[in-house]
Every structure is written in structure tokens, then in C-alpha cells.
Amino acid sequence: MSSSRTISANGIDMFVREAGQGPLVVLCHGWPELSYSWRHQIAALAAAGFRVAAPDMRGFGRTAAPADVGAYTIFDTVGDMVALVAALGEKKAVIVGHDWGAPVAWHAALFRPDVFTKVAGLSVPPPFRGRGRPLETLRESGITNFYWQYFQPPGVAEAEFERDIAHTMRLVLGRGVSDPSSMFVDEAKGFLGKLPNGMPLPAWITEPTLPNSPKATGSPASAAA
């Protein structure tokens, strides 16, 4: 049986889902996700004899979202995971990351191999570090409308996503963003305007488990990124 709580770690309040007893496994979700995304894996890992902790990552869901855009570096996010392990009374952990959580997992194992003894990345392999900064590389390549760039001005993406949270959750979580063209934002349509409307949910998610659904139980009301 899983439980949840908010703890203080690395100077922020962090919402964490927990279950099980045994060696600690930390699960880092990506975007657009929350700790809720790991609900099935939490149960399976706990049943296999592990203690599992899945936080809402910094800036997401019920975890604090610092206003300073400089507070989201890889050092901050890795620091959150190091502090989480300590806050749980542990000294070592296995760390698993999916999507944007994968770079956190890889760097956690790189920076603190004394804490993170094993690491797994889902969807995102450990890349070679580029010679330039990603946003500068995009701009130098003539790309100006990639979603990373759309998310940079404070308040722009937030205003679009918060206009109708239930609609946003259905589009982004229900339909997904697997089509590469959806990663490029039409200024007139915004990010969500590139995702299809009125399509049925895929088999892996149902209306009662869709976050922000009136029927959802134990799911978050909203997510921030």
C-alpha cells in the first residue's frame, strides 16, 4: 500500500509517493509527468522487496516551484535527489529516470556515485555533452520555435496550460506528444494547438485515472512545469 507526504529537502518542499521496505529506489519522472506516472511501477517494485520513493520533481505538481529560473539547473535537480535520500534516512539508492528525469538520474550517478550505486534511464540515453548550450545551438541552427524556446519566457506556457487544466491534461497526457512535429510551436496556436482534439484516450490510460478528472482518486489536480 503506497502513501504520500511532503518533506523538506534541499531547501524546498517536496511531495513524495512511497511504498515498500528494503533497498531504496528513487523514481524521477519526466515532462509532462508527475510522481503519479509511476503508480504501477511503485506497486510492483514494493512487491519485489524494495523501498520506493517517487517525488514530484522540482517545479512540478505539489512540489515547490521556485520563481528564479536559475533554480532549475542539473545541480539543483540532482541536489534534490541527494537530499531526498538523506531525508528518508538512507545513505544509498538506485535511481531511475524517465524522459527529462533520465538526465537527472544519469548525472546523479555521475556526481554522487557514493550515493547512487545503480542507475537506469528510460527513453533518454546518457548523451555526450555538447560543445554549446542547447538553446544557443538551436538559435544558431535557425530554429526559433522549438518547445524548449516557447517555454523560456516566464508565464507564457503557464497561461496557455492553466486556461483549461482538464483540457490540457487530456491532450498532453492522453494523446501524448510523440509526433516530432508537435515539438515545434505555431505562435498563433500555442503548444496545445498542435495536438489533436476529440480523439479517444489510448488503452493505457482511462478517464478515472486521468489527472484532474472528476472521477480520479488520489491523482493530482494540476501539474506545473
Residue-wise pLDDT tens digits, 119-159: 999 988 887 777 788 899 999 999 999 999 999 998 899 99
Q: Please, what are the domains in the chain?
A: 1-127 (3.40.50.1820), 129-225 (no CATH)
Q: What is the pLDDT of residue 170?
A: 79
pTM reported for the whole predicted model: 0.85
pLDDT of 223 above 50:
no
Residue 186 Cα distances to 12, 26, 69, angstroms? 35, 36, 24
Q: What is the DSSP letter of 194?
A: G
| Per-residue pLDDT at 22 | 97
Interval 3-24: pLDDT, tens: 999 999 999 999 999 999 999 9
> Residue 176 pLDDT more than 70?
no
Look at residues 87, 44, 42 and name the one whose alpha carbon lies nearest to residue 63.
87
List CB contacts of 25: < 8 A, sequence separation 6 or more.
45, 50, 51, 52, 53, 93, 94, 95, 96
> Is residue 216 scored above 70 in pLDDT?
no
Smallest CA-to-CA distance from 161 within 197, 196, 191, 199 is with 191
- In angstroms, rounded to a whole number, what is the distance separating the alpha carbons of residues 68 and 63? 15
What rounded mean pLDDT belongs to the chain?
A: 87
| Contact call for residues 177 and 195 (beta carbons, < 8 A) | yes
